[in-house]
């Protein structure tokens, strides 16, 4: 999540999460588009067998960023795939981001996402986060993030573990990735003594086309013992608009969790 940016840019980011009902100003003459708009405005959504809350901050800006999180920027399509989108509101001129988080907590086990999107070609201000998070910044967090944190010279794949003890003593791994396609698989396995991260080209449940792997094996008491929600968000670093001025969309085909 955003915590890696503390170490990279020495910036403190707030992380408020509000469960307000989302609003959707979209109008359409077709019943299909009206149904899609209604689905996007739902407070919760079903995805990959779990219930998720869609974050909506109204017109207010909150961390990470700070950004506006619009409930209509996260939805599940007819295929059962999750869409996260960053859009520009033509009326207000503000950029709107997306986030969902699970209503269920998860502990030790394997977390896996299958992602569709040109995540290696993100604008320098775009951040996609897939993470296990207690809600307490600097504590109990495991992140997979795709971001350059506002600097095109920085690597765009980031793994981070924030320890149970909190503070600035986090573990991190970065790598510059250049993909040959737009389908990737990302996972981490969290146990009492380690967190093992892996990223692969394509959609695989094994290690086929593995292009990045790293292990955090800090002392056992530094790995969180908490059951925590899963968050997925697409947001703007420091709340800055995309440098290229373009909207961005990512599709999460699946999330799976295997205990143990």
Residue 176 CA to residue 156 CA, distance in Å, equals: 5
CB 171 within 8 A of CB 164: no
Residue 207, pLDDT > 50, answer yes
pLDDT given for residue 5 in this prediction: 41
Residue 28, Cβ density class (10 Å: 0-12 exposed, 13-18 middle, ≥19 buried): exposed
pLDDT at residue 17 tops 80: no
pLDDT of 119 higher than 80: yes
* pLDDT at residue 222, as a whole number: 81
Q: Say which CATH architecture domain 4-259 belongs to.
A: Sandwich (2.60)
Average pLDDT of 53-74? 96
| Whether pLDDT at 36 is above 70 | no
What is the pLDDT averaged over residues 95-105?
Answer: 98
Listed residue (193, 117, 149) closest to 6, CA to CA: 149
Of 138-152, 156-170, 240-254, the poorest mean pLDDT is in 156-170
pLDDT mean over 6-17: 34
- Mean pLDDT across the stretch 71-99? 97
Q: How far apart are CA 194 and CA 109, in angstroms?
A: 11
Residue 33 has pLDDT above 90, yes or no: no
Nearest to 84 by CA among 250, 253, 236, 246: 250
Over residues 158-164, the mean pLDDT reads 93
Q: Which helix (H) or strand (E) is 39 found in, with range?
A: helix 31-40
Determine what percent of the chain is predicted with pLDDT higher than 70.
82
* pLDDT tier at 42, thresholds 50, 70, 90: low
pTM score, two decimals?
A: 0.85
**Sequence ranges of the domains in the chain:** 4-259
255 pLDDT above the threshold of 80: yes
Query: Residue 167 — very low, low, confident or very high, per pLDDT cuts 50/70/90?
Result: low
| CA-closest candidate to residue 126, choices 65, 54, 177 | 65
């Amino acid at each position: 999540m955003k915590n890696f940016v503390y170490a990279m840019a020495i910036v403190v980011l707030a992380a408020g999460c509000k469960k307000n009902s989302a609003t959707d100003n979209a109008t359409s003459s077709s019943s299909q588009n009206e149904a899609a708009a209604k689905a996007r405005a739902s407070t919760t959504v079903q995805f990959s067998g779990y219930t998720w809350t869609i974050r909506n901050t109204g017109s207010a800006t909150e961390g990470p960023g700070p950004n506006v999180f619009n409930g209509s920027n996260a939805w599940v399509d007819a295929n059962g795939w999750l869409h996260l989108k960053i859009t520009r509101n033509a009326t207000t001129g503000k950029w709107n981001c997306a986030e969902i988080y699970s209503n269920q907590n998860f502990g030790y086990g394997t977390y896996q996402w299958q992602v569709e999107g040109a995540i290696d070609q993100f604008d320098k201000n775009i951040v996609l986060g897939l993470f296990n998070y207690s809600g307490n910044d600097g504590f109990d967090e495991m992140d997979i993030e795709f971001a350059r944190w506002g600097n095109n010279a920085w690597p765009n794949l980031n793994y981070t573990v924030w320890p149970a003890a909190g503070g600035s003593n986090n573990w991190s791994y970065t790598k510059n990735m250049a993909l040959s396609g737009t389908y990737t698989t990302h996972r981490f396995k969290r146990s009492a003594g380690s967190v093992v991260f892996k990223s692969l080209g394509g959609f695989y449940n094994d290690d086929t086309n593995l292009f990045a792997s790293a292990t955090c094996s800090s002392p056992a008491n530094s790995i969180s013992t908490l059951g925590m929600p899963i968050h997925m968000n697409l947001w703007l670093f420091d709340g800055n608009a995309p440098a290229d001025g373009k909207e961005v969309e990512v599709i999460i085909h699946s999330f799976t969790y295997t205990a143990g």
